[in-house]
């Protein structure tokens, strides 16, 4: 599978590295708060049918946080520009976790360039009341609790101890960007649930059955707010089902996008 990296430059000089892999109708994949994942096993399984467009959000993977950026809204408008500049047509819009929230925000504004939406263990709404913790506080959780909440099989978690100093600094930088985009209101936009009805393309919610960051109950709440949506739960997977169960993940994706 060949891949090439290009660079989108916004009107305000913000650069987004963009990896393209495979050939076919475009799928734009928005990564989550852990940053871009180099190794996406599911991608190999779909790249003979789709072209994957895989951008890196500013602040992740060693890229700078733009001076005027304060929250996810800044990312939403940057991606609206990027999507226009790519002149995407009939594309699939897919996001993981925070990237799912981002994808939902883009979709409530305008779906004209997209045929389908895929949200994977996505955040973005607050289903419960003020005293309910709907989304695990990833910034205040001890590392071992976070591992348990994130992974069904903790052996698949990245081993921070094996990273070089430089790589670990990138992980630390990713956390800074993650916090910037999601700190308050925590991992959600209170207005989003009043806007999700605008999504007028078929939507698939893929969820890891054992996700402890946002549970399948959270996925059901999201499903209830998006008109033409289905929830597909993958067993033996946590917050990253595309890493833990790549075959299952690719299968659900293909079933939804090709039918």
Residue 6 contacts another protein per CB under 8 A = no
Stretch in the footprint of another protein (CB under 8 A) among 98-106, 112-120, 160-168, 218-226? 160-168
Residue 115 contacts another protein per CB under 8 A = no
Among 1, 156, 160, 258, the residue binding another protein under the rule CB under 8 A is: 160
CB of 185 to another protein, least distance (A): 10
Residue 80 contacts another protein per CB under 8 A = no
Residue 143 contacts another protein per CB under 8 A = yes
Stretch in the footprint of another protein (CB under 8 A) among 12-20, 169-177, 215-223, 227-235? 169-177
Residue 162 contacts another protein per CB under 8 A = no
Residues 10-69 that bind another protein (CB under 8 A): 65
Of the pair 64, 235, the CB lying nearest another protein is at 64
CB of 171 to another protein, least distance (A): 7
Among 87, 112, 140, 190, the residue binding another protein under the rule CB under 8 A is: 140
Spatial separation of the C-alpha atoms in residues 236 and 228, rounded to whole Å: 26
CB of 46 to another protein, least distance (A): 32
CB 108 within 8 A of CB 199: yes
Query: Which x/- pattern over 173-192 shows residues binding another protein (rule: CB under 8 A)?
Result: x-xx-xxx--xx--------
CB 230 within 8 A of CB 223: yes
CB of 142 to another protein, least distance (A): 6
What string of DSSP letters covers the chain? --EEEEEEE-TT--EEEEEEESSSSEEEEE--TT---S--HHHHHHTTT-EEEEE--TTSTTPPPPTT--SHHHHHHHHHHHHHHHT--SEEEEEETHHHHHHHHHHHH--TTEEEEEEES--B---S-TT---S--TTTS-HHHHHHHH-SSGGGS--GGGS-HHHHHHHHHHHHHHHHHHTTTTTB-TTGGGTGGG--S-EEEEEETT-SSS-HHHHHHHHHHSTTEEEEEESS--S-HHHH-HHHHHHHHHHHHH-
Residue 89 contacts another protein per CB under 8 A = no
Applying CB under 8 A, the residues found at the interface with another protein are 65, 139-143, 160, 165, 168-173, 175-176, 178-180, 183-184
């Amino acid at each position: 599978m060949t891949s090439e990296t290009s660079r989108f430059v916004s009107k305000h000089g913000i650069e987004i590295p963009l990896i393209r892999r495979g050939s076919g109708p475009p799928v734009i994949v928005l990564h989550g708060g852990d940053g871009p994942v180099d190794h996406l096993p599911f991608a190999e399984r779909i790249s003979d049918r789709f072209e994957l467009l895989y951008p890196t959000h500013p602040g992740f993977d060693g890229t700078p946080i733009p001076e005027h950026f304060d929250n996810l809204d800044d990312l939403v408008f940057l991606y609206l520009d990027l999507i226009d500049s790519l002149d995407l047509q009939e594309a699939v819009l897919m996001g993981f976790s925070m990237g799912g929230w981002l994808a939902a925000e883009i979709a409530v504004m305008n779906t004209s360039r997209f045929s389908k939406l895929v949200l994977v263990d996505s955040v973005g709404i607050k289903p419960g009341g003020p005293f309910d913790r709907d989304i695990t506080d990833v910034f205040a959780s001890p590392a071992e609790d976070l591992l348990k909440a994130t992974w069904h099989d903790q052996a698949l978690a990245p081993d921070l101890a094996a990273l070089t100093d430089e790589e670990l600094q990138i992980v630390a930088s990713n956390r800074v960007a993650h916090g910037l985009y999601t700190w308050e209101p925590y991992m959600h936009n209170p207005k989003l649930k009043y806007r999700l009805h605008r999504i007028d393309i078929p939507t698939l919610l893929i969820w890891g059955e054992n996700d402890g960051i946002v549970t399948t109950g959270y996925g059901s709440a999201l499903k209830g707010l998006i008109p033409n949506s289905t929830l597909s739960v993958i067993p033996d997977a946590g917050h990253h089902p595309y890493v833990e169960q790549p075959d299952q993940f690719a299968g659900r994706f293909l079933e939804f996008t090709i039918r």
